[in-house]
Structure 1
Amino acid sequence: MELFEGLGTVPPEFGPSAVTIGKFDGVHLGHRSVIAQLVAQADAHDLTSVAVTFDRHPMALLNPEACPSPLVSNAQRAELLAQTGVDVTVVLEFTRQLSALEPAEFVDAVLVRALNAQLVLAGRDFRFGHRGSGDITTLRELGRQAGFEVVELDDVDRDGDRVSSSRIRSLIDAGAVREAAELLGRPPQVRSTVVRGDQIGREIGFPTANLDPTMEGLLPADGVYAARAAIDGVSYGAAVSIGNNPTFEGVPDRRTEAHLLDYSGDIYGETIELDFIDRIRSMKKYDSVDDLVVALAADVVRVRDILAGE
């Protein structure tokens, strides 16, 4: 997959292309269905398949207080889109200038001039242009004028509800990572760097990799999780704790700590990816360190059982 950041990086005489436009936050099953149809249509018509997206959620600029947390970083999204088979991803910088474009101006600048679109795929709730004033009917009319065809796509449903980034976000926020994975088509993931912690885990026999809190991806609710940890391409089972270590005093900040199963060594400064498989329990304050150690040992047994069943 080729990645173009901004219309200015798209080569002259690009295309002809088949295009779909969206935020693609999480690149979930709904997004994957759209892109699969895009790739199939592009192949059938000998066109270049193009996914157009944005460098941030529009609300991050237009209404920051109401902007939802992203499911993935831009880098993670690009990696996930590359796995779909789409030929090209174009990332537009979402600016005031871009948000002010009328639908006809957006179509002319992006779809016609930059991408030479011959086919555009969109869902029935697609909105574009200033204040979302353009819809799929607008797109069809502009397509007739500009010479491209518009294909309307159906939503992807699971259990009678539409698969959406907001639905997945709610599940992850509640710690329901297994249910979120069913809609994502993969486990929820975060990526960060291993930093030094208080060494408490090491002292009680459960050393942990502490993640830098400025991480990529959406962190689930506080609790203990069965996860898979990837470091340098090697996967390990992991019992992951998210919260403020309530058994110990003086730990006010929220932390993410991964106890890697069957691993020993120094990984400070390494990049670690955590795939959350299932939630084991909520965060709990224990009466003593001995009680905590017993609980951690039980967590490890539970994690091994869950991962063995995957």
Structure 2
Amino acid sequence: MAHSKPKSDAPFLFPKCEASVLPDPSRFFSNHLLSNPLPTNSFFQNFTLGKGDQPEYFHPYLIKPAKSSLSISYPSLFHNSDFFHEVFKPDITISGSPVDQSSRQTHQISSFSDLGVNLDFPSSNLRFFLVRGSPLFITFSVSCNTITISTSHEFVSFSGNSLSTKYVAKLNNNQTWLIYASSPIKLTKHDNSSIRCRGEFSGLIRIAVLPNSKPDFKPVLDRFKRSYPVSGDADFTKPFTLEYKWEKRGHGDLLMLAHPLHLKLLSKDNESVTVLNNIKYKSIDGDLTGVIGTGHCSGDVALT
């Protein structure tokens, strides 16, 4: 039997094998991403291992997806002489009503970059923009759906502004969360642990915690609520320099966070960066400090 000789210009393909420990992670990626190699050892790897429901750390939040929801934790830090440990507890959980029962019930990665990953929930028309370096806000879009915002604690108070575009939720664990919407959304307290949207909503929602419930942080968050990143890449083209560039949408500069090492390594000659020393968030790497940038930042290391 004659065998045809493979074309010399055909790309080499590694043989496919079945993992004995973990299932195929490709089920968590959009189809258009499967024609290229999938990332390994990435910062969002937990979203693709096993059931994809293990939390990942986006300073200062732990993010944990489920079948039709995403939970956010501003975790407490426990430590002794042997280890540091952050405990995940769902402070805020965001879910949407199923709009397509035939759609997949798991989350799906629709795009990723050096610094960011877009996490979709096709059954409820939700898309989360999870980007390193600017995680002070958790940003997500909604398309023609209702949403529910719940907590594992209790809401002790909930109020909104006259435009129905900003809400303040206080929890019984002494946390205060701010909720911003790109257009009016009717959010009402359903019970002690959940807030619901009356009617369908299409637009952008951003959620942020006030560390230690400091009210003087509110004007800063109000000011930078309109600009948000959707991806980010590392640029090594300049000698002895690593430059991270974020693709942003909205208006104005980005409000980002940097931990102590990053602050020391940021280029002092970079006039596009302003450090807000009064904005502090706790993290496993030390206090994170607010940084204002135009969408790119130069130095010897990137913002986390």
Relative contact order, CA 8 A, sep 6+: which one is greater? 1
TM-score range, shorter chain: under 0.3
TM-score after normalising by structure 2:
0.25
The structure where helix makes up a greater share of residues is 1
